[in-house]
Structure 1
Amino acid sequence: DFRLTCLWYRITFFCYSASVVTEKKTWEEALEYCREHNDDLASVGSETEMLLIQKELRKQNTTEHVWIGLRFLSGDWLLMDGQEMDFEAWGEEGKPSCPHAKMRCGALQVAVGRKGTWKAHDCEERLNFICS
């Protein structure tokens, strides 16, 4: 079952587009899918982007977590689009400083009635994802 939803918002010189993909893929497969469609896994670089993505995710029937463009590489968490990490949304466990080799991919918790958070996730788990 494939479903693609696009969202565009304009907020004072701010335009953001994202596609929620309800296919279940590993982190690498999701990245490849987004790039094949001239996008990238979504980098959640601001609180505004987080709120817009969460708003759209609440309309969808998705996995509890969705892949985003966040990866642990060379000893640090990086956004795959190269943005500086001026915004972070780690959950109660905080930002993992040295995650297990399998847990080096970032997922966003689909929040119901509260803010979503980032979580280190098993890269081989099959989740829905967001391209932007």
Structure 2
Amino acid sequence: MSEDVYAVPDLTKKVGYGRRKREQEMEERGEREERIVDIYATADNLDPVTQQDAVQENTAQVQCGGSDQSKKNRSRAAAVCLMLLCLLLAVIIGLVIKYSELNTEKNNLVKDLVQMQSKYSNLTEQKNQSSFDLLLLQSRFNNLTEQKEQLQSRFDLLQSNYNNATTERDQRRKMLCEPHGFTFDGGVCYYVSPPEPETERKSWEDSRQYCTKRQSDLIVINSRAKQDLVERVAGKNRNMWLGLTDREREGAWTWLDETKTPLTTPTYWAPGQPDNNTSQDDCVVFWNGGKKGWYDKKCDERNRWICERVLC
């Protein structure tokens, strides 16, 4: 009987190491010993059947108490396991979400990498094309530089030839200009009538005849250089016949050169000129006085003149 009692110990209880745990274990152990003592104390006074029933009843009570405690412990263990499972499930769900986010970020990075590789390839192709274009331009530049140097050399040669030809032409013109008292200056071959005596002064028509007898004509002013020449050689306060007239048609002033060039700008008329003061002022003189410039005069007036010889 005593072996059956000792054969059912409560092994589901947790072992505690605190003072309160030890006191609870000692109290439970004392109660168990008291039950066992009671069983042994009353065993001699009962008959065998009665003793057997009493032992079975006490054993059942001890087993029931241990069974309730075991159920409580299992319930607690199940709750703890459920909590651990829930926590584990939450961790797994979090890891799955994090993995999904990381996988999405990875895919985005892969797309960006592909795009960057594509851009890099395009830039590399553009760079290679630019390098090729640069080499082509450099080659063309070198060719143009060489052509420029050749053209410059040819231009220098032509310029030198032109200068030599101009010098030779001026020398030849000077030789052709010098007879009959003509002067070659600034590319113009001219003759200025002497200032004295006054009897040497002539009308516009006579002045022209004097010039034509010497292979020339009254001077034509078609540039500023010629105007400056006339101002320089005319002398102060003197009239000089010019090769300008409107005898063919009043108001239509025309030069005496071969092309019959009409009067165009620039003109050097004196202020208020031409005025046709006598209604027969059809010829032009240059007056180098206070209001210097061109004046229309009667063609039969007697003045000095300037001849110009056109040289080839």
* Same topology, TM > 0.5: yes
Contact 1:18–1:53 (8 Å) recurs in 2: no
1:130, distance to aligned residue in structure 2 (A): 0.3
Q: 1:80-117 CA deviation, whole Å, 9 max, x = no partner?
A: 11234233111101334x664431111111247xx841
What is the CA–CA distance in structure 1 between the aligned matches of 2:237 and 2:211, rounded to whole Å? 18
SS in 2 for 1:125: coil
Normalized against structure 2, the TM-score is what? Answer: 0.35
Of structures 1 and 2, the one with the larger relative CO (CA 8 A, separation 6+) is 1
SS in 1 for 2:227: helix
Give the corresponding residue for 1:16.
188
More helix by share: 2
- What do you get for the CA RMSD once the two structures are aligned? 2.4
Contact 1:102–1:124 (8 Å) recurs in 2: no
Matches within 5 A, 1:1-132: 6-10=182-186, 15-22=187-194, 23-58=200-235, 64-72=238-246, 73-75=248-250, 76-81=252-257, 82-86=260-264, 87-96=266-275, 100-111=278-289, 116-132=292-308
Question: Which structure would you say has the larger Rg?
Answer: 2
SS in 2 for 1:95: coil
Residues matched between the structures, number? 119
Residues 126/27 of structure 1: CA separation in 2 closer, same or farther (3 Å cut) = same
SS in 2 for 1:28: helix
Give % identity.
21
What is the CA–CA distance in structure 1 between the aligned matches of 2:299 and 2:253, rounded to whole Å? 14
Contact 1:108–1:119 (8 Å) recurs in 2: yes
What is the CA–CA distance in structure 1 between the aligned matches of 2:307 and 2:273, rounded to whole Å? 25
Normalized against structure 1, the TM-score is what? Answer: 0.77
More strand by share: 1
Moved over 6 A (4+): none
Range with greater deviation from structure 2 (77-86 or 117-126): 77-86
Residues 45/111 of structure 1: CA separation in 2 closer, same or farther (3 Å cut) = farther
Contact 2:241–2:304 (8 Å) recurs in 1: yes
Residues 41/71 of structure 1: CA separation in 2 closer, same or farther (3 Å cut) = same
Aligned-partner residue type, residue 93 of structure 1:
G
What is the CA–CA distance in structure 2 between the aligned matches of 1:63 and 1:35, rounded to whole Å? 26
What is the CA–CA distance in structure 1 between the aligned matches of 2:184 and 2:289, rounded to whole Å? 20
Contact 1:20–1:129 (8 Å) recurs in 2: yes
Unaligned runs of 5+ in 2: 1-179, 195-199
Unaligned runs of 5+ in 1: none
